[in-house]
Structure 1
Amino acid sequence: MRCNRRELAILFVYCVSLLLFVHLRGVWRKEKNAYTDDERSSRNEIQHTLVPINRRRQQSNLFSCPSNPSFVYVKTHKTGSGTLAGILKRLRARNKSLNTIPKFPPPYAGGYPGSFRRDLTITSDDMKSGADILLAHFRFDETEVREIMNPQAKYISIMRNPKNQFQSSFYYFYYSRYRQTVTSFKKMACQGYPYLHVTGNRLVPFSQYLELAGTKLDRTAPWYFRSLNNQAFDLGLDPAKLSREYVLNEAKRLDSVFDLVLILDHLLESLVLLKTLFCMEWEEIIPTFVNSRQYDDIVYSEKGEAILRKLTFQDQILYDYFNASLWRKIRAYGEERMAKDVQHLKSLIEAESSSANPQVKVEAVASNKIKRRAVRELSMTLSIEDALTRDILENSKGKNETLARSVARHMIKAAGSCPHYSLEVDSLFHGR
């Protein structure tokens, strides 16, 4: 009986111990599970937070902010390029240590209208590892430009509806410039050409010029490209190749090179994308319009339309391509977001315009008339190469005659020379 009691006592202790063990184990498991749930909840919360952060980083990489805002800006003619240049100069002003390739010969670079050549530029020892900024009118050549530029540089350009660009070039370089006294005479720009060549040194209205250009304009005319696929020419296309396949292939190639081609006809949307590309402030992209003029609307005849389509064949294909490319970027940016940002930019422009105090700039040029006439008379006794070399040295205030002569030869080969103005033509257009 005692044995039974002893065994019962042992059994009781065992059972109590077992129950206590089970209970304590349950409590421990509950605490462990509670900690694991909390930890899991915490980890989930962290992951939930990190996902949008990572997404934002991935999205920001589409327009990542460059630590060094290096860029190449190909200024196309009469496309609002001066306005855009003013904005990009603000970007350059952020960091004064950036190395900019100077314009040579002014107002161009690298031997324009010849294709850009790095050996015809002026660089310093600071640019051995690559120049940071190239901002000028030059004829684009990707290979030559990359050889001299920072490999991290962004590539920027701008285009305009070819019909409007063609008209603007006509009025700026020819018609409007010669209906009144010219206050800025740039020999290096050969103002008046190819228009004087086509019209026989006459001043004619646009419709008449267009008809003459349809039959008389060819690649032998000085600066012929101002009236023949001017934008395509500046972007480096061969004006002799007029197949649609060639132009489309060049458009695709350029699209792979350029980070952004702005469209003047959608300037505000373009500027918002530019702001995002370089992480600029709103105030930095407010445009100050340069060389902006209003011209009378032109009513084209059926023949005039056909001539214009022929003279801007390459430009039109490139414009259509990059206009579509711009709108793809806008859709990626978000159309609602873009509309909101454009409205904000408009309000900033209006506020800037209302606070501005415009003043008419009057240039005193009478004192230079005698000097200019003497230079033109002297130029008439020189060969075209000598006269152009002299102009380059005079405009650049440089002393490197060897480089200036090399540039002159490159320009002449690309139809970039012009007959120096005879006193008869000069008198016709300047009233002297």
Structure 2
Amino acid sequence: MITKGRLVVAIVFLCCVSIYVNVGLREIWWNKEHTSTEHNNTRCPLSLSYVYVKTHKTGSTTLRNILWRLHDRNTSHIRIQLYPRPFAGGYPGTFRKDLTITNGNGTSRVDVLSAHIRFNETEVREIMNPKAKYITIMRNPKKQFESSFNFYYARYGKNVGSSKKVTCHGSPYLQVAGEALMPLSQYLELAEAKLNGTYPWYFRSQNYQAYDLGLDPTRISKNYALNEAKRLDSIFDLVLIFDHLLESLVLLKDIFCMDWVDIIPDDSPSKPYDINARSENDQRIIRKLTFQDQILYDYFNASLWRKIQSYGQNRMAHDVQRLKLLIEEKRSRKDAQLNAGLFASDKSESYLRWNVKIPINSEYTRTNRNFKIMKSKNRIIAKPIARYMSRNLGWCPQ
């Protein structure tokens, strides 16, 4: 005889199963509904080979997560692995192919390079699939500067610099300020007076985006920056603008022949912060410290809107609205999954597979050259990378 308690348990169980199946079927239907067949032909094959120069504090992780979804389409391609995470090719030095690790046999061309690198076209092209697409992303220089200040300095408070990993959080802010918890306005005055190219990681406070794209951030020449912008424009298939992310993603979809479901961005995990250069003097100093960034940003922002013009403004407005609706639908589906008890991992399967940790210990040892060398089980590659990083101001001051 079935007791009342068992009956209640059975009813609850059946309800949970029903919700689970319903949500699962909705997931399958939704993905199928928004996976078009327009690109599944020879006219527009999906692009699976690309170089993504992941600039810092520009919303680049949002774009990285979108690109990683393409990895599920082809698990056999050859990629550059992050070593030491989150860098590749000896960053902050310019990219060197001999300082990389791939999942290939060392003789085949690379299909995917997606990492924080300092762009070096010659070295990159020598190892990449000649059909690879080249993309990167930029952000309003003032916002990017504030974000960098917060990420590498302000948010750590008194603990900034106490845990010196390979990324050397705190530098160069701690060395310029001489203390933790300095307000942005006070830091800017010191940076204008004393920041120079001898500080480790100085470029985080001076033309950071330009540095990542291979420019010399210490050159104060408008012609130099404009010529470099034109050179980069001839290389990159698309420079996305974070401040116009949805329009940029629509263009990315068109260039890569992606489906709508591929370009839906994840909800940002970043936390809000109150770092804002409000005074006229603060903004003047930031403009001075991001002189090259501003020229590159203005150039590629104008380039983006020319591409939008070619794409068709009405068509773009329609597609941006469609993307907004898809983003809302995804959020609604996520809420339904949470309510059904389907708690998805914060990190996708592709994240876990493609961001594999290579055995490395982030501690350093002082050497006779007065820089620090990574201790690693893979010392054959770790030592030259550490030496190259240190020679390019990528080391953690005591």
Q: Classify the TM-score, shorter chain.
A: 0.7 to 0.9
For the pair 1:147 / 2:145, whether they are aligned, the reply is no
The answer for the alignment partner of 2:284 in structure 1 is 306
TM-score, L = length of structure 1: 0.73
- 8 Å CA contact 1:82–1:291 kept in 2: the answer is no
Counterpart Cα distance in 1 of 2:263 and 2:235: 23
**Structure 1 position 180, deviation (Å):** 7.8
Amino acid at match of 2:221: S
The 1:344–1:180 alpha-carbon spacing in structure 2 relative to 1, beyond 3 Å, is farther
**Structure 1 position 405, deviation (Å):** 1.4
The answer for the alignment partner of 2:48 in structure 1 is 69
Counterpart Cα distance in 1 of 2:81 and 2:68: 13
Counterpart Cα distance in 2 of 1:132 and 1:340: 33
The answer for the alignment partner of 1:320 in structure 2 is 298
The 1:361–1:132 alpha-carbon spacing in structure 2 relative to 1, beyond 3 Å, is closer
Q: Pick one of 81, 85, 106 that aligns with 2:64.
A: 85
**Structure 1 position 301, deviation (Å):** 2.5
Amino acid at match of 2:327: I
Bigger shift: 286-295 or 112-121? Answer: 286-295
Amino acid at match of 1:119: D
Amino acid at match of 1:390: M
Q: Pick one of 292, 295, 301 that aligns with 2:270.
A: 292
Q: Secondary structure at the match of 2:134?
A: strand
The 1:113–1:287 alpha-carbon spacing in structure 2 relative to 1, beyond 3 Å, is same
- 8 Å CA contact 1:385–1:408 kept in 2: the answer is no
* RMSD between superposed Cα atoms in Å: 2.7
Counterpart Cα distance in 1 of 2:216 and 2:160: 36
The 1:386–1:208 alpha-carbon spacing in structure 2 relative to 1, beyond 3 Å, is closer
**Structure 1 position 291, deviation (Å):** 4.6
**Structure 1 position 290, deviation (Å):** 4.3
Pairs within 5 Å for 1:418-429: 418-420=396-398
Bigger shift: 211-220 or 223-232? Answer: 211-220
The 1:89–1:197 alpha-carbon spacing in structure 2 relative to 1, beyond 3 Å, is same
More helix, by proportion: 1
Aligned residues with identical type, % of pairs: 58
Q: Secondary structure at the match of 1:390?
A: strand
The 1:155–1:270 alpha-carbon spacing in structure 2 relative to 1, beyond 3 Å, is same
The answer for the alignment partner of 1:346 in structure 2 is 324
The answer for the alignment partner of 1:106 in structure 2 is 85
Counterpart Cα distance in 2 of 1:351 and 1:325: 31
- 8 Å CA contact 2:49–2:129 kept in 1: the answer is yes
- 8 Å CA contact 1:118–1:148 kept in 2: the answer is yes
Bigger shift: 193-202 or 244-253? Answer: 193-202
**Structure 1 position 212, deviation (Å):** 1.5
Q: Secondary structure at the match of 1:176?
A: helix
For the pair 1:382 / 2:366, whether they are aligned, the reply is yes
**Structure 1 position 361, deviation (Å):** 9.5
Amino acid at match of 1:145: V
Deviations 1:184-240 (A, max 9, x none): 956011111111101113221212211221112111111111110000000000123
Pair member with larger Rg: 1
Q: Secondary structure at the match of 2:239?
A: strand
- 8 Å CA contact 2:366–2:372 kept in 1: the answer is no
The count of residues paired between Structure 1 and Structure 2 equals 338
Bigger shift: 410-419 or 329-338? Answer: 410-419
Q: Pick one of 195, 204, 210 that aligns with 1:217.
A: 195
Q: Secondary structure at the match of 2:153?
A: helix
Structure 2 unpaired stretches of 5+: 1-38, 347-360
- 8 Å CA contact 1:79–1:160 kept in 2: the answer is yes
Pairs within 5 Å for 1:11-30: none
The 1:164–1:152 alpha-carbon spacing in structure 2 relative to 1, beyond 3 Å, is same
Counterpart Cα distance in 2 of 1:275 and 1:215: 45
Counterpart Cα distance in 2 of 1:299 and 1:135: 32
Q: Pick one of 233, 253, 265 that aligns with 2:243.
A: 265
The 1:101–1:330 alpha-carbon spacing in structure 2 relative to 1, beyond 3 Å, is same
- 8 Å CA contact 1:384–1:417 kept in 2: the answer is no
Deviations 1:116-141 (A, max 9, x none): 00000113544523100001001000
The answer for the alignment partner of 1:240 in structure 2 is 218
Counterpart Cα distance in 1 of 2:368 and 2:171: 15
Deviations 1:247-277 (A, max 9, x none): 0000000000000000000000000011111
Amino acid at match of 1:165: Q
**Structure 1 position 82, deviation (Å):** 0.4
Counterpart Cα distance in 2 of 1:341 and 1:384: 59
- 8 Å CA contact 2:81–2:88 kept in 1: the answer is yes
Q: Secondary structure at the match of 1:187?
A: coil
The answer for the alignment partner of 2:16 in structure 1 is none
The answer for the alignment partner of 2:388 in structure 1 is 410
- 8 Å CA contact 1:79–1:159 kept in 2: the answer is yes
For the pair 1:335 / 2:313, whether they are aligned, the reply is yes
Structure 1 unpaired stretches of 5+: 1-59, 363-374, 394-398, 421-432
Counterpart Cα distance in 1 of 2:383 and 2:84: 11
For the pair 1:227 / 2:205, whether they are aligned, the reply is yes
TM-score, L = length of structure 2: 0.79
Q: Secondary structure at the match of 1:356?
A: helix
Amino acid at match of 1:404: A
Counterpart Cα distance in 2 of 1:360 and 1:275: 26
Counterpart Cα distance in 1 of 2:316 and 2:117: 32
Q: Pick one of 182, 185, 189 that aligns with 1:204.
A: 182
Counterpart Cα distance in 1 of 2:247 and 2:163: 35
